[in-house]
Amino acid sequence: MYKIVLFIQVCFYIALAFIVKLFVKKNSKKEKTILFLPAFFPENAGYHWRVQKWADVLQENGYSVTIKQANYKDDYYKLLGINHSLLLIKFLNKRFWHVLSSRKYNKVIVRRELLPFNEYGNLFLEKLLLKIHPDAILDFDDDIAFSKGEPREIKSLYGKILGENGNKFTESLNMYSNFFVGSNYLKNYVLNINPNAQIEVIPTCVDYEKYAPKVYDASKKEIVFGWVGSNSNLFLLDSIIDSLNTISKNNTISLLVISGKDYKNSKAAFPIVNIPWSLESEIEDIKKMDIGLMPLLNTKRDKGKAGFKLIQYMGLGIASIASNVTVNGEIVDDHINGFLVDEDWTIVLEDVISKKQNFEEIGRLARKKINDYYSFNSNLPKYLNLVHRV
């Protein structure tokens, strides 16, 4: 039943968007009004760090900022697993009118995409938004096209009739003219598709300078390795379990995992402590780590990541170890404010443990690097540059 409702709804909004495009235009004369259209809800890390925090900074700098979300955490998780069509129906109903109301704002910033999980209508909503706001800015910090499996072949008759686009995100990169991206890798990725794009590299920033840094206890015997991240990235920890097992033979260690679900690995010869991720407790939970970990695989998926785990660890003054993949090599100055792994995690882990007495100084230099290059204050001029330019 809900598929029929979704079918009717998509057809209705496609027709309405076509009619509206013939007449609609931006009517705001207020220069400093900005509308954010985030893909998810406030409890999402991307919403918090790339939407809400920037909205706060912009308002401190004289802008009037509105955020319009189209879903809520409880409703989202309730419907995601049991009624995908109803989730899309609710989201589209709100998002269409958000786009129409964008006429009242001088600038629009879209976080990730207008309709997550909804490739129907061949980007009709993006076309409507860009008719109203040709200068709208698209913000993303991951290789979203890869995570969507693009290009996908559309096999279902339902999808074909509704104009499902198996290359949605990639094609949207050709439609927008202005971008905030999380890394130089993503900037080059966009330019390969859209050579005339106006792009500012804005890492996922933190404001940790107002928090006390990690305090190391030199007398403590146990070394707590830590990892924070989404459920979909938990599998990356599997790649370093053998190396952690090796060093656990001569050292007392544990692995602290902060995520949306528990991480378990039967091969682990050391304790694994799981803490549910929470925006409210995240900072204090991360500071329980002695060494932050960011293992990656040298794949297209992982090359598109923006290194936010590292930015979090280092911003709180924590010694960190990361795979030397794309942006990680830009964030970490190897053996100065952190450590990079090219191939063998065991060798690097052993080397880092031998420098335990230097963790306080490494953490201090890490924190300085983040404050200088990955904080909101340090990136504000670049952010405002694109906002003003468009």
Mind listing the pLDDT tens digit for each residue in 359-379?
Answer: 999 999 999 999 999 999 999
For residue 103, pLDDT over 90 is answered with yes
Quote the pLDDT of residue 28.
65
Distance set, CA 376 to CA 309, 380, 390 (Å): 16, 6, 20
Entry pTM: 0.92
Rounded to an integer, what distance in angstroms lies between the CA atom of residue 203 and that of residue 372?
12
**pLDDT for 328 beyond 90:** yes
Q: For the segment 132-176, what is each residue's pLDDT rounded down to a tens digit?
A: 999 999 999 988 998 888 899 999 999 899 899 999 999 999 999
* pLDDT score for 84: 82
How many other C-beta atoms can be found within 10 angstroms of the C-beta atom of residue 31?
Answer: 11
**Mean local confidence (pLDDT), 283-297:** 96
Q: Closest Cα partner for 168 from 124, 99, 113, 119?
A: 119
Average pLDDT, stretch 10-27? 86
Region 102-123 average pLDDT: 93
CATH topology classification for 208-373 = Rossmann fold (3.40.50)
CA neighbor of 361 nearest in space, from 319, 333, 331:
319
pLDDT category at 45 given cuts 50, 70, 90 is confident
Mean pLDDT value across the chain: 93
CATH hierarchy code of domain 2-205+376-389:
3.40.50.2000
Would you place residue 382 in the very low, low, confident or very high pLDDT band (cuts 50, 70, 90)? very high
Percent of the chain with pLDDT over 70: 99
**pLDDT above 90 as % of the chain:** 77
Among 213, 209, 216, 208, smallest CA distance to 360 is for: 216
Note the pLDDT tens digit of each residue in 241-286.
999 999 999 999 999 999 999 999 999 999 999 999 998 999 999 9
Could you give the CA distance from residue 35 to residue 54 in angstroms, rounded to a whole number? 12
76 — pLDDT class (breaks 50, 70, 90): confident
CB count within 10 Å of CB 310 equals 27
Residue pLDDT, tens place only, 182-238? 999 999 999 999 999 999 999 999 999 989 999 999 888 999 999 999 998 999 999
> pLDDT tens digits, residue range 344-363?
999 999 999 999 999 999 99
Start-end of CATH 3.40.50.2000 domains in the chain: 2-205+376-389, 208-373
